Structure 1
Amino acid sequence: MVRVYRYDYIEYVRGMKFTVLTFGCQMNVHDSDWLIRAMESRGWTAVSESEADIFIINTCSVRDKPEQKVYSVLGRLAPLCKKAGSFVAVGGCVAQQIGEGFLEKFPHVRLVFGSDGIAQAPQALEELAKDHKKTLVLNDFVAAYPEREGGLAQPNQDLLPPGIGTIPGQAFVNIMQGCDNFCAYCIVPYTRGRQKSRSSEAVVNECKSLVKAGVREITLLGQNVNSFGIDKKGTDSSFAELLYKVSAIDGLERIRFTTSHPKDLAPEVIKAFGELPNLCPSLHLPVQSGSDNILKKMGRKYDRARYLGIVEGLRKVCPDIALTTDIIVGFPGETDEDFEQTMNMMELVRYESSFSFKYSDRPGVAAVKMQPKVPEDVAQSRLARLQERQKSITRESLEALTGREMIVLLERKSKRQEIGGVSWRGKDPGGRVINVHFAGLDEEQKLGGKLVKVKITEAKNHSLIGVKMGEIW
């Protein structure tokens, strides 16, 4: 059946089947969720990969490995695009980086869109579904944040393909796009463009619509949320002011935000952790290195003392705050002493978890030309040692929570089930994964998005186990 929609009055075959494959950060997950909702609102149907006609890959190029995965996926999808009308769309950071190169190398790719081009992607997908010979590249950066039209406040969970979609009761909200920091190792300013903040009114209105639709927890997203409002065009609020505005939304029970750059973490934001009851006591605060020498080479614009002062301030106003971080080992010029400073930082802060990686050259960044490079075997040895220590700290931190009572926002059924009921997994305000067994519960009963008080009974390597202490609401 052919229908006409208001979007430039493009005609298309209702029921076009598509799937979205997502790599990378939470911003990519959010972008994919929005794209799914936007296409569903136009009559398209989100399905699994084996059923799809159109394949959309949302890519990441922060490190080399995710980029290489994209080429592998494109090779796998080629046989599936032989039927008439089938094609691949490549979006995200690698799309911004490679551009028309995808069209030249992969004939089954007909749409390439960068981070600012996603707002135009739904219309472009419709055009390509109608005209099988057309190709499009949407890689121009725009001066202001590209507000997106279309889509619903909440997607239809039953229509989302496995592994993709908003977790019941939770949602991401972009507050900005791009980055102005140009850290020596980072490709983000080149693939996502310069920083562009949204208006606080647009952010608050989106959050209100999500809460009205049943969302209980919102995560505010940006490459550097702490610099919200201080970009070239600016906005009407600082990040701290935005937090207080969002916190005041009636019915919003939890707020999180990511990612934070320590150089821009204002005292007012630290203060908010002690004043806003729905601001979760958890913060991802990337340190990258514990060495002042390496931090300077990275262009991070803070030192150990500044970082540890932030940690002290956070724990003063919010003693139970759970801190996580990013760490790069093997940055050009990193000595054994520099690495020991990073290990010392881990002992001082005791992160509950960390994302740690070996440095890898990314095209166009300043660190590509920095010498000397750390030998691969040395970087690997340092990474293994750091990750082993992190495992121990994580386990110790989780064991210290045994016997505590937490409020858990349930997400989905646990992978491991017990006899005589159903086990569900969720997260506490600190962002820790907690598995809860519900004796006698019907397997078909849906608890996603529900809250329950839980007593922690056991700690695992990366999660907790608890028992229900009261009613589910």
Structure 2
Amino acid sequence: MKFHVLTFGCQMNAADSGWLGRSLEGLGWEQVPAGEAQVYVVNTCSVRDKPEQKVYSLLGRLSEHLERDPSIFCAVGGCVAQQVGTKLWNRFPFVRLVFGTDGVSQAPAALARLAREPKLRLSLLDFTEDYLERDPALPGKAASPTAFVNIMQGCDNFCAYCIVPHVRGRQKSRASAAVLQECFALAGSGVREVTLLGQNVNSYGLDAGGDGVLFPQLLRAVAAIPGIERIRFTTSHPKDLAEEVIEAFGDLPNLCPSLHLPVQSGSDAVLRRMGRKYTVDQYLKKVEGLRRARPDISLSTDFIVGFPGETEADFKATLDLMRQVRFEGSFSFLYSDRPGVASVKMEPKVPDEIKSWRLAELQALQNAQQEAMLESLAGTTAKVLVEGPGFRRGSEEPAWRGRDEAGRVVNFAGPAEPDLTGRIVSVRITQAKKHSLWGEGAS
């Protein structure tokens, strides 16, 4: 069978989609461009309303293609599938499998069965009490020098705005031995950078399924694996960022100096209504500790603009926090009601036009900060892990693309041969682009 995977949302979805593709190839299926597929797998996100609507729009477009050939069918997985369930069958008859976030491990076998039984429909929507271990289905030689490694699933925080616990379930930590085994295998296949993934990695091991290994210990164990030259992790809840993890940034040379630490708002009043369980002052103390441990650390964050009850003063406090912390990057979104979460009932709702104006102001400030930070790097030398060929607009000279230790995208001029993919090279930064860097020379 020929299949194509389409992915929306977070890095965990990207990791799941990668695993699904490898597993189906292991069954003898062939991964092909969208127009050639007999089976479409759509891995979805419902954290905000906009990505959910994109999924429905995509399925609508697919329906026109699939109606021309009734043998073609679709599977929908991830958060939208968990949220909407088998109702998708009524709206999109060509959807023959819906699988939730705990049903990913069973999806390849289900798809194989559907290919054999053309009149069958299946759903995999039950939550499990423990993390379901699965064969990582790793190739003998890595296709990329970077890899995602899931260490947990679900979340126990139940922030007032967040649908994640409802669609990904309660927190379930993966066995530490399984995580380390996968990291060893990845290193052996040529992977040089791993990113440890979870809804809240800092609470790894604290649930009932934990095996006694907590996140600081897991981090150090992964760092000790030969061949793993860079480690990242995401996402972190500020209230659970332990001092031992902060200290690790100063102790572990292969722990990259970058951290995504979602703050959501610069107002204590808004943070209380969100149920975030920390204050702005407590957040800033974590930032101070991180910068003491690793002065060159690059920090990014998330902001929600227009949370119910957010005043102009609350929003100004968010702008002040952005200036104070000097975030190098951020993901900022308009608040939207999600089904079943506490904030749906909170009032007053901020009018859409005010939310949009505030978001534009916040993003303009962020863009200015990022541009200034990137420009300050001109003339410096970066260690870049090369991910593959790069490009420079208006030039045909050979180039490569990768990321520096802080995760910034770097394109640089370099020889076409030998293949630099997977190597860490020194690049002299000569120019800042809007969201990336340009450099030259490699050694």
What's the counterpart of residue 128 of structure 1? 114
What's the CA shift for 1:459?
A: 1.1
What's the % identity of the aligned pairs?
A: 58
What's the counterpart of residue 11 of structure 1? none
Distance 2:32 2:326 in 1: 42
Q: Is structure 2 residue 98 aligned with structure 1 residue 112?
A: yes
Q: Is structure 2 residue 359 aligned with structure 1 residue 383?
A: yes
Report matched runs for 1:57-206 at 5 Å.
57-81=42-66, 82-149=68-135, 151-153=137-139, 157=143, 168-206=144-182
What's the CA shift for 1:78?
A: 1.5
Distance 1:415 1:43 in 2: 35
What's the counterpart of residue 236 of structure 1? 212
Aligned residue-pair number = 442
Which TM-score applies when normalising by structure 2?
0.97
What's the counterpart of residue 297 of structure 1? 273
The match for 1:326 among 263, 284, 302 is 302
What's the counterpart of residue 436 of structure 2? 463
Distance 1:456 1:386 in 2: 28
Give the AA of the match of 1:148.
R
After superposition, give the CA deviation of every residue in 1:51-77 in whole Å (9 maximum; x if it has no partner).
100000000000111101111111111
Distance 1:154 1:55 in 2: 26
Q: 1:123 to 1:421 in 2, by over 3 A?
A: same
Distance 2:78 2:249 in 1: 32
Give the AA of the match of 2:342.
A
The match for 1:266 among 231, 242, 252 is 242
What's the counterpart of residue 414 of structure 1? 390
Residues 154 and 210 in structure 1, CA contact (< 8 A), matched pair in contact too:
no
Give the AA of the match of 1:271.
E
What's the counterpart of residue 373 of structure 1? 349
Give the AA of the match of 1:86.
I
Give the AA of the match of 1:467.
E
SS at match of 1:344: helix
Residues 142 and 186 in structure 2, CA contact (< 8 A), matched pair in contact too:
no
What's the CA shift for 1:432?
A: 0.6
Which TM-score applies when normalising by structure 1?
0.91
Residues 417 and 423 in structure 1, CA contact (< 8 A), matched pair in contact too:
no
What's the CA shift for 1:446?
A: 4.0
> Which of 421-430 and 38-47 deviates more?
421-430
SS at match of 1:345: helix
After superposition, give the CA deviation of every residue in 1:83-128 in whole Å (9 maximum; x if it has no partner).
2531000000000000010112111000000000000000000000
What's the CA shift for 1:137?
A: 0.5
Report matched runs for 1:425-436 at 5 Å.
425-436=401-412
What's the counterpart of residue 223 of structure 2? 247
What's the counterpart of residue 17 of structure 1? 2
What's the CA shift for 1:414?
A: 2.6
What's the counterpart of residue 8 of structure 1? none
C-alpha root-mean-square deviation of aligned residues, in Å? 1.3
Residues 418 and 437 in structure 1, CA contact (< 8 A), matched pair in contact too:
no
Q: 1:420 to 1:47 in 2, by over 3 A?
A: closer
What's the counterpart of residue 7 of structure 1? none
4+ runs deviating over 4 angstroms? 153-157, 417-420
What's the CA shift for 1:417?
A: 4.7
What's the CA shift for 1:272?
A: 0.2
Distance 1:449 1:138 in 2: 37
SS at match of 1:95: helix
Q: 1:388 to 1:30 in 2, by over 3 A?
A: same
SS at match of 1:209: helix
Q: 1:35 to 1:126 in 2, by over 3 A?
A: same
